[in-house]
Amino acid sequence: MLAVVLAFSLILTVTNSYGQKSEAPPITAKYFYKFPTAVKRVLSESVVGVRVSFQSFKQGISEVQTKNATGFVVGEGVVLTALHSFSDMPPVWRSQTTKVEIYDGENFFNAFMATCDPKVDLAFLSLTELEQNGVKFSKTPVTFAGGKNKQNMPEHFYSFLFSTLGKNIFFPMEFGQYVMETNLIGDQVLPERLGVVIGTNEAGFSGAPLIGPNGLVFGMLILRGDAYTYVTTVEQAVTFLKESIEALKKEIDIKK
């Protein structure tokens, strides 16, 4: 039996790499209190931060680069995020020295990239262990929009950005309508069609869920334009997850 489940979660406290805990400030965006309760629940239950560290070379000198992205839980100890968060270089994706960490709102958990698909900019991350340093990862999966829910698009969408400016925190953002799906960005032809929503995002939103007011996930943010944001569609995400589950022989429920 194969089903597909997805959910997002977050809490605002931080434990750094040395095990020291510090309090992160609450979300302070003026309009956050207006967010639907179901959307806030997705943040508290399933949205995660992703931190990737890898070796790079500049003028023959090796240095460690760190990139941050957002992600969301799609199964027990499994997270979906944007592949380009790992840089645009395939060797980084597969390198044994690339370090992946998942932030659940309180603690960082070691993880690794299990598989990826460059065509749709998706990466499938898995925690090395559900319990690390005496702390158990407890985030739960999101539910994808499907069927009638996918057909009846809401007028507004919501998402959250993982940022490490000062302290680890998630910033909220609101988007307009889901206007179309296209494989054209300017004069560039993409291998797959992407969804397009009104409104632009900020650096760090890559991999974040596109959440409807009912708490269902309608895609994943991957690319920003001047007035629009491009998203991986539900169908692409679910297809990728099913293929990954089969290839990795994992048991995951995918809820639609």
Cα–Cα distance measured from residue 230 to residue 88, given in angstroms and rounded to the nearest whole number: 18
H/E element, 248: helix 234-248
- For 74-86, what is the mean pLDDT? 89
C-alpha dihedral, 12 to 17 to 22 to 27, nearest 10°: -30
Nearest to 77, CA basis, from 41, 26, 39, 114 = 114
- Provide the pLDDT for residue 189: 84
CA 208 to chain centre: 4
Q: Where are the domains of the chain?
A: 13-136, 148-234
In this structure, are residues 161 and 70 in contact, taking their beta carbons and an 8 Å threshold?
yes
In this structure, are residues 192 and 185 in contact, taking their beta carbons and an 8 Å threshold?
no
pLDDT category, 126, cuts 50, 70, 90? very high
Taking only the tens place, the pLDDT of each residue in 176-204 is: 999 888 888 777 888 888 899 998 877 66
pLDDT category, 11, cuts 50, 70, 90? very low
CA distances 175 to 12, 53, 179, 188, Å, are 23, 30, 11, 24
C-alpha dihedral, 34 to 39 to 40 to 44, nearest 10°: -170
Say whether pLDDT at 135 is over 80.
yes
- Provide the pLDDT for residue 204: 67
In this structure, are residues 108 and 101 in contact, taking their beta carbons and an 8 Å threshold?
yes
Taking only the tens place, the pLDDT of each residue in 32-54 is: 778 899 999 999 999 999 988 87
Weakest-pLDDT range from 65-79, 95-109, 131-145, 154-168:
154-168
SS3 category, 168: coil
Question: How large is the greatest C-alpha to C-alpha distance in the chain, in angstroms?
Answer: 55
Nearest to 100, CA basis, from 51, 139, 168 = 51
Segment 173-179 long-range contacts (CB within 8 Å, at least 24 positions apart): 173/29, 173/199, 173/201, 173/202, 173/205, 174/31, 174/35, 174/199, 175/199, 175/201, 175/210, 175/229, 177/153, 178/153, 178/210, 178/218, 178/219, 179/228
Q: Which two tokens stand for residue 175?
A: 């988007």
- Provide the pLDDT for residue 142: 95
Side chain identity at residue 99, one-letter code? K
pLDDT category, 147, cuts 50, 70, 90? low
Cα–Cα distance measured from residue 86 to residue 68, given in angstroms and rounded to the nearest whole number: 9
Say whether pLDDT at 230 is over 60.
yes
Cα–Cα distance measured from residue 139 to residue 147, given in angstroms and rounded to the nearest whole number: 26
Which superfamily is assigned to 148-234 in CATH?
Answer: Trypsin-like serine proteases (2.40.10.10)
pLDDT averaged over every residue in the chain: 78
Q: Which fold has domain 13-136?
A: Thrombin, subunit H (2.40.10)
Say whether pLDDT at 17 is over 60.
no
Domain 13-136 matches domain 148-234 at the CATH topology level: yes
- For 96-120, what is the mean pLDDT? 88
Whole-angstrom distance between the N-terminal and C-terminal Cα of the chain? 15
